Structure 1
Amino acid sequence: MKITAVAAFTAVATVSGGLAASAQSYEGATIDYVIPFSESGGSAQWANFFAPLIGQALPGAPTVVVRYRPGAGSTEGANWFQGEQDSNDGLLIFGDSGSTKFPYLLGDPRVRYQYQDWTPILASATGGVVYLPPDLGERFDGDMDDLKDEIYLYGSQGATTLDLVPLLAFKMLGLQVDPVFGVEGRGDGRLMFERGEANIDYQTSSAYIANVQPLVDGGLAVPIFTWGALDETGTIVRDPTFPDMPTFKEVCEATEGCETSGTAWDAWKAFFVAGFANQKTIFLPQSAPQEVVDTYIAALNDVVSAEGFQAKAEEVLGAYPQLVGPAAVEATEQATNISDEAKQYVLDWLKEDYGVTME
């Protein structure tokens, strides 16, 4: 996967394509907005932000209700949506995450869904923040050298979910991290941290803003770095939502033994792109007729171009691109393909460190 190509779509302006709202109307209807996660994580924050805005923008002002179908790191909900591809009335939309894309990219046998069967209508980039409890956070000075002797517990949805990005980053930094697999969402990982059952965690930007910033303000957590963001050249730069925090790349460069070149780095960056540059996407079933697709795209263009939207989005989701229509299609194509070299490196690492194989 070409990193520069992914960077290019993050810079694409929202595309309207001259679409106008059609005669399609949803007056009095209820639209199910399904996400394959629990109600406590970043995907829930994202979906609940967009749900009322979509309802207000669609013709007839329908009620859009977020439904939760967690399980197996999001593959259960995605498999369920795959079985709903004959739904053609526009009353069902689905939101994925990097945790849905990663098993697909790695050939996980639990995956029965095919992204080419789904119709992307909106793609959202995001970021993520790693944080520690105060006793460890106060020892962070820009590198992880003085924190390598600790044993860390981390609540994880699974090694092939979006947690692949932090787990590989922790390995590259030389940290001794024991993941506790099986949590249903990142929100559950955060709750483990709050209860003292985990001493390292990360949350996507929306969940961090809503649920971790209060912990930071209360002296109960210390942020140490972000995953960063991509500029127009594909270079990792500071996250625009958290510009005062160093990136993983900066911390890696400052930490002994961590390299920002070579196979491990290339693999980490590839999955970072797939998991964050297009971290969340809204889909219609493939069977949705063009009239329905056009109606949704017109409504979403109205949403993201509305006065005050950017400020509201930054407050809840962070300062990231929201791509509509053709731009969302391009973003999804880029995020659901990966180089053979990066894939093989990660498959070998998963087998060696966690006994996870894609057989």
Structure 2
Amino acid sequence: MVLKKLTQRLALSVAFATCTLAPSQVLAEGLDLTGKTVEWVIPFSETGGSAKWANFYAPLLSEALPGQPTVVVKFMPGAGSTKGANWFQGQEYSDSDGTLIFGSSGSTQFPYLLGDPRVRYEYKDWNVVLASGTGGVAYLPPDLAEKMNGNDASALRETDFIYGSQGATRLDLVPLLAWEMLGLNVEPVFGIKGRGDGRLMFERGEANIDYQTSSSYLKGVTPLVEAGTAVPMMSWGALDDEGNIVRDPTFPDMPTFKEVCEATDGCETSGEKWDAWKAFFIAGFPAQKMVFLPNGASEDAINTYAKAFEAVKARGDFAEISAGRLGKYPQMTGAKADAALKSATEVPTSAKEFIVGWLQDRYGVSLK
């Protein structure tokens, strides 16, 4: 299997390196999907960022694939996305098919990284054809946002916060740990199906702190900000070429968690807690969402989908339309997608051990 995967990747790299034809000419080769329906499985509800990401890409992918098949997004929520991922692990298809793809998110990656006993999927068996970076924004009701002194969040320690969460081992561990590092008393209500449900709790007044990934923030929270019912607190930030946390390019006027932490007494941007937070932030956001073909996918299928996503990225209007829907983040194919997958599914042992212990101590979650 390893040899086969290396052969597939080498062939894909050669295809990208030697291709000089226009996208439409390139896509004339490969699978013929005329008259077929491609099923894009998302292991979350239809209210969250993964749904917005897939629904954005689906019509563009349909146009770029040979034969312009119908691309249908199918939602399979449950167990914080492990239900859908476990199902996908069991799917294999023949070389002549190519009508099934899967959309992973950081909330799928984290249980895998932490050794969650419910995980029966293996990323090394899957074939990545697109990796999408993203960011995240935490926000507050106006009356609580007024308590912040610039970037200093110390005054918020007097507040009892409620947060709608998908689960402590999901992507939510990034905001939960960040808020704890700031000394905030945030009580999560676990069990929501998607981040969109958390936003609805905030809108109904059932939660008084929330975070959304960038696509969901742009679509679902920006109207609340414009209406004066929500105020951004901070973004998680982005990574520069040296691996430093810098301001999110989609929200350049918003302070990062690192800036807020530095301005808040008692919050440290060094040490094991910070190192663990940063490691899981890197695993969860710079390559948060990925598209895979299942185990057993042919070289032809992998090449076809990778070239299709490359053609989508090459559209003259892509930068403009994606910035408004997804934010300004890398959309990676080929070798860059492979590298993104590696960063998203590997963390230092020390970071994993810290998070496993923290989950046990803070939330009684045992992963042993």
TM over 0.5: yes
| 2:59 paired with 1:52 | yes
Query: What code does the residue aligned with 2:251 have?
Result: F
Paired AA for residue 274 in structure 2 = W
Q: Give secondary structure in 1 for the equivalent of 2:269.
A: coil
- The equivalent of 2:171 in structure 1 is 162
More moved, 332-341 vs 259-268: 332-341
- What SS does the corresponding residue of 1:281 show, helix, strand or coil? strand
Aligned ranges for residues 100-139 of structure 1 at < 5 Å? 100-139=108-147
Q: Which residue does 1:262 correspond to in 2? A: 271
2:91 touches 2:295 (CA, 8 Å); kept in 1? no
Which residue matches 1:327? 336
Distance 1:197 1:254 in 2: 29
Moved over 6 A (4+): none
Please give the per-residue CA displacement for 1:191-248, whole angstroms capped at 9, x wherever unaligned. 1111111000000000000000000000110001000000000000000000000000
What amino acid maps onto 1:38 in structure 2? S
- The yes-or-no answer on 1:194 pairing with 2:207 is no
**Aligned with 2:41: secondary structure?**
strand
Distance in 2 (CA, whole Å) between partners of 1:128 and 1:91 is 31
Other-structure match for 1:144? 153
- Whole-Å Cα distance in 1 between the matches of residues 92 and 101 of structure 2? 11
Does the 8 A contact of 2:43 with 2:84 survive in 1?
yes
Structure 1 equivalent of residue 18 of structure 2: 18
Q: Aligned to 2:104, which of 91, 96, 108?
A: 96
TM-score norm. by structure 1 comes to 0.94
Tell me the secondary structure at the aligned position of residue 71 of structure 2: strand
Q: Does residue 296 in structure 1 map to residue 305 in structure 2?
A: yes
The equivalent position to 2:291 in structure 1, one of 262, 282, 288, is 282
Task: Tell me which of 178, 181, 192 is aligned to 2:190.
Answer: 181
TM-score using structure 2 length: 0.92
Residue 325 (structure 1) shift: 1.9
Q: Which of 247, 270, 274 lines up with 1:238 in the alignment?
A: 247
- In structure 1, how many angstroms separate the alpha carbons of the residues matched to 2:154 and 2:94? 53
Sort the Cα spacing of 1:130 and 1:23 in 2 relative to 1 into closer, same or farther, 3 A. closer
**1:288 aligned counterpart, secondary structure:** coil
Q: CA deviation at 1:138?
A: 1.8
Deviation, 1:329, is 1.3
DSSP-derived class of the 2:340 partner: helix
**Is 2:89–2:295's contact at 8 Å kept on the other side of the alignment?**
no
AA of the residue aligned to 1:217: E
Q: In 2, distance between residues paired with 1:240 and 1:57?
A: 28
Decide which structure has the larger Cα Rg and report it. 2
Matched with 2:87 is 80
CA contact (8 A) 1:16 1:301 kept: no
Asked if structure 2 preserves the Cα contact closer than 8 Å seen for 1:130 and 1:202, the reply is yes
Other-structure match for 2:36:
29
% of aligned pairs identical?
61
SS in 1 for 2:17: coil
Q: Flag the structure with more relative contact order, 1 or 2, with Cα contacts below 8 A and sequence separation at least 6.
A: 1
